[in-house]
Copies of this chain bind each other. A is one copy, B any other.
């Protein structure tokens, strides 16, 4: 395998990669390390995909993905390899729970629900835990009750099992921040498979011991900017057409064409569905790519002069079913030079927020914070809303989702190569789907596929 073919076909590179998010860049880096020539096309004018780090106020903040947690061994390995620094999310202090207009506080790990609510939440969590552990991670459609689970929405089970409104509300808040969706939009099977890929509901929902445990001192996008060093990355080059034949693949981007032996599609399924493929993708894969839809999340950063919540004994963590903020965390810069809270607006609240005038949207978010933390929250230096639904090269966040009937009806079309096309991106991961870790897993798998086929 080299830059020019022995068969008279002129290849520009061995492998062309679509997408300079974490998956595309890690895959390109693995291939380059193995001696292959690689070119990466990126639609945006920056690398990083759903990670994006910006200097805001007196700190460095991630307006996209920002956390890493225990068990995410690939991210930790990459962090060590690149020599990046991380630090723990601040969780010390009292937490706030706001369900159906009822505000309460709790200092332990046990949420301040009524005794009946707590009992039901424990029961629900153990039911979910048992159900999710029964899903085969490689192929959820082969789960024992796959047809029944994929034939129903999560909402159907939510209504049937969660009889108390407060418990429903807590689940809604979690869904909005984890999926950017409402229970009505999700296949129950997809929900369970997603939880299972990340080690269970609490693993995804928690800071300490969970997916929100640690942050990057220099921001999560650093993973991507560092990987991109010494790689051939072409920015502002959205790929429009991918044509494969027996010998290779031709990619047509805005203002650029490349001929390669193989291609890696490392972008969210809904964006891959917008590319013209020749010949057409298999009907099953085309349908599956199209069936995915992006979650709806806006991330809201609140900058303060002082960490007023800590001074009042709060951790900064708030969970609310009442909107627009579903969850908040202390998000101060690692050196505390810029005290900050971060909030997530997801699902229907994100869609409602997107309809508002930006000034009104900021006002609504701030009111929700004042409702939770008191009037001191109003003394904000700056509010920065990042609505990922408005990013044309993401069209939503944090991850692409599936409604009912797709996982079982279109089984097997997610990650198998199709001719000379290989599929990466966190949605194609077996473990930690939707997270940085999943992006890395998918990248390593796609690189391996290519190296095995073109030794």
Query: Could you list which residues of chain A lie within 8 angstroms of chain B, going by C-beta atoms?
Result: 147-148, 150-153, 155-156, 159, 181-186, 240, 270, 273-274, 276, 280, 282-284, 286-287, 290-291, 293-294, 296, 347-348, 351, 354-355, 387, 389-390, 392, 395-396, 403-406, 408-410
CB–CB B409/A184 < 8 A: yes
Residues of B within 8 A of A293 (CB): 287, 290-291
Question: Given that A351-B409, A389-B287, A390-B280 are known contacts, is A155 also in contact with B404, CB under 8 Å in the complex?
Answer: yes
Closest to A148 in B: B159
- Most chain B CB within a 10 A radius of its CB, from A159, A184, A291: A184
**Quick one: which of B151, B156, B282, B354 contacts A284, CB cutoff 8 A?**
B354
Residues of B within 8 A of A390 (CB): 280, 283
**Closest chain B CB from A12 CB (angstroms):** 24
Closest to A181 in B: B405
Cα distance A291–B290 when bound, in Å? 9
**Closest chain B CB from A410 CB (angstroms):** 7
Residues of B within 8 A of A147 (CB): 184
Question: Given that A155-B151, A280-B390 are known contacts, is A184 also in contact with B287, CB under 8 Å in the complex?
Answer: no
18 A-B pairs, CB-CB below 8 angstroms? A147-B184, A150-B184, A151-B153, A151-B156, A151-B159, A153-B156, A155-B405, A182-B409, A185-B404, A185-B405, A282-B355, A283-B354, A283-B355, A283-B387, A286-B389, A348-B409, A351-B409, A351-B410
Copies of this chain, whole number: 2
Cα distance A240–B408 when bound, in Å? 33
CB–CB B351/A183 < 8 A: no
Residues of B within 8 A of A184 (CB): 147, 150-152, 404-405, 408-409
Cα distance A290–B282 when bound, in Å? 20
CB–CB A284/B355 < 8 A: yes
- Most chain B CB within a 10 A radius of its CB, from A152, A181, A296, A387: A152
Cα distance A18–B418 when bound, in Å? 32
Cα distance A296–B290 when bound, in Å? 13
Question: Given that A351-B284, A404-B184 are known contacts, is A152 also in contact with B151, CB under 8 Å in the complex?
Answer: no
Cα distance A394–B403 when bound, in Å? 21
CB–CB A155/B152 < 8 A: yes
Question: Given that A290-B270, A291-B293, A410-B351 are known contacts, is A153 also in contact with B283, CB under 8 Å in the complex?
Answer: no
Cα distance A422–B201 when bound, in Å? 44
Cα distance A155–B150 when bound, in Å? 10
Question: Given that A152-B153, A153-B151, A280-B392 are known contacts, is A182 also in contact with B405, CB under 8 Å in the complex?
Answer: yes
**Closest chain B CB from A356 CB (angstroms):** 11
- Most chain B CB within a 10 A radius of its CB, from A182, A354, A355, A404: A404
The 3 closest A-B pairs by CB, nearest first: A185-B405, A403-B403, A184-B405
Residues of B within 8 A of A294 (CB): 290
Closest to A276 in B: B392
CB–CB A351/B283 < 8 A: yes
**Closest chain B CB from A193 CB (angstroms):** 15
Cα distance A280–B354 when bound, in Å? 12
Residues of B within 8 A of A181 (CB): 405
CB–CB B284/A153 < 8 A: no
- Most chain B CB within a 10 A radius of its CB, from A159, A240, A409: A409
**Closest chain B CB from A402 CB (angstroms):** 9
Residues of B within 8 A of A153 (CB): 151-153, 156, 404-405
